[in-house]
Amino acid sequence: MKFTDFDKTEAYKNLSNLSEAGKKLDFTRLMSPDRVAAYTAAIKGKETLVYNWGAKKVDDKILAALQSLADETELIDKYQALLEGELINTGEGRKVLHQLLRSGAKSATGKTVSHESRDLGEFYQGELARFLSFAEKVRSGELGPAPGKSFTALAQIGIGGSDLGPRALCIALENWAAGEGIKTLRTEFISNVDPDDPSRVTASLPLDQTLFILVSKSGTTQETLTNELFVKEKLQKAGLDPAKHMAAVTSETSPLAHNPGYLDSFYFDDFIGGRYSSSSAVGGLILSLAYGSDTFRAFLEGAAAADKAALERDILRNPILLDALIGVWERNFLGCPSTAILPYSQALSRFPAHLQQLDMESNGKRVNRDGKPLAYATGPIVFGESGTNGQHSFYQLLHQGTDIIPLQFIGFKESQRRDDFTLDGSTSQGKLNANLAAQITAFALGRPGTDPQNANKDFPGQRPSSLLYGERLSPWTLGALLAFYENKVMFQGFIWNVNSFDQEGVQLGKVLAQKVLGKGSEGSGDPILDAYSDLLGV
Amino acid sequence: MKFTDFDKTEAYKNLSNLSEAGKKLDFTRLMSPDRVAAYTAAIKGKETLVYNWGAKKVDDKILAALQSLADETELIDKYQALLEGELINTGEGRKVLHQLLRSGAKSATGKTVSHESRDLGEFYQGELARFLSFAEKVRSGELGPAPGKSFTALAQIGIGGSDLGPRALCIALENWAAGEGIKTLRTEFISNVDPDDPSRVTASLPLDQTLFILVSKSGTTQETLTNELFVKEKLQKAGLDPAKHMAAVTSETSPLAHNPGYLDSFYFDDFIGGRYSSSSAVGGLILSLAYGSDTFRAFLEGAAAADKAALERDILRNPILLDALIGVWERNFLGCPSTAILPYSQALSRFPAHLQQLDMESNGKRVNRDGKPLAYATGPIVFGESGTNGQHSFYQLLHQGTDIIPLQFIGFKESQRRDDFTLDGSTSQGKLNANLAAQITAFALGRPGTDPQNANKDFPGQRPSSLLYGERLSPWTLGALLAFYENKVMFQGFIWNVNSFDQEGVQLGKVLAQKVLGKGSEGSGDPILDAYSDLLGV
């Protein structure tokens, strides 16, 4: 298994040679109903998540070159090695094991994964069982803030991976739980060191019925520790005992671990990166508290199904691998520096913000796995908002701007709440999906102009998009969706030969912020830093 | 006053010649405390909003070339003509008058603006007075849903400009109102045609105490009309009379106008574009209902101050014009296709989503004002999230990715709620701003590597950013901030010679969605459209 810079591969040369022809592919000639039907692959399990690439700028020749890229760079072998505990995170000398959180006690390939003679699959399963049991005790009222009282609200204190993923997932399942008649605890999040954030959230909560979940792997995150103490002061001022209102999710080596100041503590470790931690207690505790342990188990099953599907070597039967390859094709050979994710589901309103972290923090790297600068583009900008809202916002630029931005649509046949409204012969869900189908078509085919004096009404088309769709946004589908993106980002990182699992880019800002906070009257020693902190009155 | 394609100007040639030197400008040599202090300009009024461009890739030579660009393309003359009612929106043959909403009965240049013998300044002032009075009656309880009952919650039904701006502004002032002890009505928004959106919001509201605000300029927006009827059905099922729970904001020519089915109706017209309508009743009604008429008046004053500041011809004393010019410099001569807006204030969490619409829908155009295709790049991709949250997310790519993304930071010296917490010798607000100062410095100066084997810990720097800051995020500051961006986008549109005030790019999708919804068993006649709508079960 060899790690090679992308521009040193045979596949890179082949794809470079195909680049001009690829840019010239014309959707009005390329696309047909047969192509749409054929260019499809699914993740299957209890439910199904389907990927359709009919409107991507690829033909059979390009797909063959992408298959060669996958084979030459041994993507599946690298993925297997990762699953089985190899030190894929070279910069930090760590294993990468978020998939093990959802494959049971063994890896998706059936292997035991150990570290220093500890069976990590068993460790993760043990913590899973502990936090699911804790969640059910809270939900049943067996564990409450005081005798005879129950928790009705949850507030997670965390930032980055301890916030964006869990928050997006909680929002994503709220309507589903309502549609299923599942008892729900209110969920809030405190993330920003901006004091207005914890102040607003705590003022809005029934503190005496609120369970706070403190999440920090290292136990040293400045924002999170500050907000924990902010919250504890509010609890004390309300005459409440913080130790009866707080649980912790951290690593066993953190200063927060084994602290009797929490109702309970749940552990994960350095092999679970922050942005990949939604499948651990970081996401799982609040999800199972809010919507029940069965809900979180179904979520893990969906994610496990996607992890398994990602092992397939034939790219036409592996939607995740194919999407990763097409993304690289667009980034490095069609020259597209950004991509948009457009879920046609209001429940996924914050899912793009999570994917923004997942993708940009993982692959926004300019050096290879050995710390050598790279001569090609790596991770793109990722942004997005839910449709149909985006249609009335930035889609103007997507349709008629001067740059081409590859798109990924997400849709579901059914609504979550099953509370629909029929007007003019169609349901709102029908209108939503009619818009989705219309957008894919409009972006791809455009509309030729009839009046050269009014080219502002022309649609050039030739805007590529893919579609991910399922029956309904359920826990299983959400898990599959999350793992789809986690694995896509991993494959792209392998291709670009970057370490997708560290984030050294966050360090310098931390160091300089501490310099500002520690500076005396003579300044920090860094005149530019002082000039800006003076402007801001700090 | 001449409208010329950008690449036909003298300034374009000059700037092209400066491009290579500009790319080579080195912040480690360029920047000094004196530069940071000097490269600053403010919008002044009752409060102040300051712009600092010390960390932008410009020197005095480039600034002189940008001044020549402003002069040659007559940006201030065009702005004056717009203020005074010229038909700047050529595609639709319309005036562009959102600034008139906040300059009193006359334009910011002191002129009366009329259309078909109606004084539009007076019309807008009249509607303003009407909706502020309506808001105060609701707030005092004089106008309620039933005798002796008051409205406690508001829900706006609208999409695009009727949603993103008003929503961002409501969130932005919630904490400020709490900090000031101002009585607040809860605000919610229903935008998406996804049935889960209105279903969730209506299920969460005390319907008998809720005032719904229906917003659609044309009165024909599919999503909004569908959601209005969805809501009305919920009201009726709850035994409530929709006519006692709903006000409308629309144009006088819309099918919704003069309808006794609303408590009252407030009007604006075709000269107020959707994404520019926050200063009309579209944003003003819900803001004055939620936080009081004085709050909205202060907001308008801040916006008017920014409109006035934008009239200055010297770019070094006109922060809005300068920011627009620097944005064009980065887009067309430094080769940056995207830009990020990073507010260090949780209250501005949805402000970037509004700016995304404002900018991308206005300048995401590929033809000039006469409908001729353009040979240069226009509007960039705009995205962003609040700091410090973003630091733990996509900043990795901003610091160490392969592309350079120009940044705009926004900060405030004081918090909104004045509920802060001191830890390790600093307040949370101090920590927030220390992070902001640290990021500007880190992006500009980077940190040279010491170990060539670990270049993943190097920071190349040379990432440009600007800083907009004020004392506190108040209504005045928020108004100034909103108008800052509205006018910046306008200036850039003038430079690119595009019509920033139409949005023909949204039309094709609407037409195709109707084809899907209207298709019979034989299909829509468009086989690709049918293929995708079949996949989605519609």
Task: Tell me the pLDDT tens digit for each residue of A292-307.
Answer: 999 999 999 999 999 9
Indicate yes or no: pTM above 0.90: yes
- Quickly tell me which residue has 């199972």 as its tokens: A288
How high is the pLDDT of residue B451?
A: 80
- Dihedral (C-alpha) B74, B80, B85, B86: value to the nearest 10 degrees? -10
Residues of B in contact with A515 (CB under 8 A): 438
Average pLDDT over residues A277-288: 98
Q: Give which of A400, A531, A486 is closest to B54, Cα–Cα.
A: A531
Is the pLDDT reported for residue B91 higher than 90? no
- φ, ψ for residue B450, nearest 5 deg: -110, -20
Residue of B nearest to A529 (CA): B441
Shortest Cα distance, chain B CAs vs residue A149, angstroms: 23
Which of B330, B361, B385, B486 is labelled catalytic? B361
CA B215 to chain centre: 17
Would you say A316 and A322 are in contact if contact means Cβ atoms under 8 Å apart?
A: yes
Residues of B in contact with A170 (CB under 8 A): none
Is the pLDDT reported for residue B72 higher than 80? yes
CA atoms within 13 A on the CB side of A275: 28
Is the pLDDT reported for residue B450 higher than 80? no
Is B510 a residue of the active site? yes
How high is the pLDDT of residue B455?
A: 87
Cα–Cα distance, A475 to A484 (Å, whole number): 14
Average pLDDT over residues A209-215: 98
Average pLDDT over residues B364-370: 96
Residues of A in contact with B517 (CB under 8 A): 424-426, 430-431, 434
CA B234 to chain centre: 32
Top residue of A218, A362, A385, A397 to mutate, by most chain B CBs within 10 Å, is A397
* The token pair that represents B376 in the structure block: 């240069």
Residue B89 pLDDT level (bands cut at 50, 70, 90): very high
B114 vs B1, residue with greater confidence = B114
Task: Tell me the pLDDT tens digit for each residue of A119-144.
Answer: 999 999 999 999 999 999 999 999 99
Q: In whole angstroms, how large is the CA radius of gyration of chain A?
A: 24
Cα–Cα distance, B98 to B279 (Å, whole number): 7
| Cβ separation A192–B499 shorter than 8 A | no
How high is the pLDDT of residue A453?
A: 77
Is A245 a residue of the active site? no
Task: Tell me the pLDDT tens digit for each residue of B100-117.
Answer: 999 999 999 999 999 999
How high is the pLDDT of residue B1?
A: 87
| Cβ separation B528–A445 shorter than 8 A | yes
Average pLDDT of chain A, as a whole number: 97
Residue B522 pLDDT level (bands cut at 50, 70, 90): confident
Task: Tell me the pLDDT tens digit for each residue of B6-65.
Answer: 999 999 999 999 999 999 999 999 999 999 999 999 999 999 999 999 999 999 999 999
ipTM given for this complex: 0.97
Is A258 a residue of the active site? no
* The token pair that represents A367 in the structure block: 């050096």
| Cβ separation B195–A530 shorter than 8 A | no
| Cβ separation A36–B532 shorter than 8 A | yes
How high is the pLDDT of residue A445?
A: 97
Is the pLDDT reported for residue A191 higher than 80? yes
Is the pLDDT reported for residue B452 higher than 80? no
pLDDT over 70, % of chain B: 100
| Cβ separation B430–A517 shorter than 8 A | yes
Would you say B481 and B69 are in contact if contact means Cβ atoms under 8 Å apart?
A: no
Residue B516 makes CB contacts below 8 A (sequence gap 6+) with: A434, A437, A438, B524, B529, B533, B538
| Cβ separation B505–A399 shorter than 8 A | yes
CB atoms within 10 A of CB A61: 12
* The token pair that represents B316 in the structure block: 């070094």
Task: Tell me the pLDDT tens digit for each residue of A224-260.
Answer: 999 999 999 999 999 999 999 999 999 999 999 999 9
Cα–Cα distance, A64 to A79 (Å, whole number): 21
The minimal CB distance from B423 to the residues A229, A420, A512 is found for A229
Shortest Cα distance, chain B CAs vs residue A109, angstroms: 31
Cα–Cα distance, B253 to A366 (Å, whole number): 56
The minimal CB distance from B226 to the residues A229, A372, A428 is found for A428
Residues of A in contact with B54 (CB under 8 A): 531
Residues of A in contact with B528 (CB under 8 A): 31-33, 36, 441, 444-445
Is the pLDDT reported for residue A333 higher than 80? yes
Cα–Cα distance, B305 to B314 (Å, whole number): 17
Residue B237 makes CB contacts below 8 A (sequence gap 6+) with: none
| Cβ separation B456–A91 shorter than 8 A | yes
Cα–Cα distance, B271 to B88 (Å, whole number): 10
Residues of B in contact with A194 (CB under 8 A): 344-347, 386, 388, 415, 428-429, 432
Taking one residue from A and the other from B, the number of pairs with CB-CB distance under 8 angstroms is: 500
| Cβ separation A196–B426 shorter than 8 A | no
Q: Give which of B344, B423, B347 is closest to A230, Cα–Cα.
A: B423
Terminal Cα distance for chain A, rounded = 51
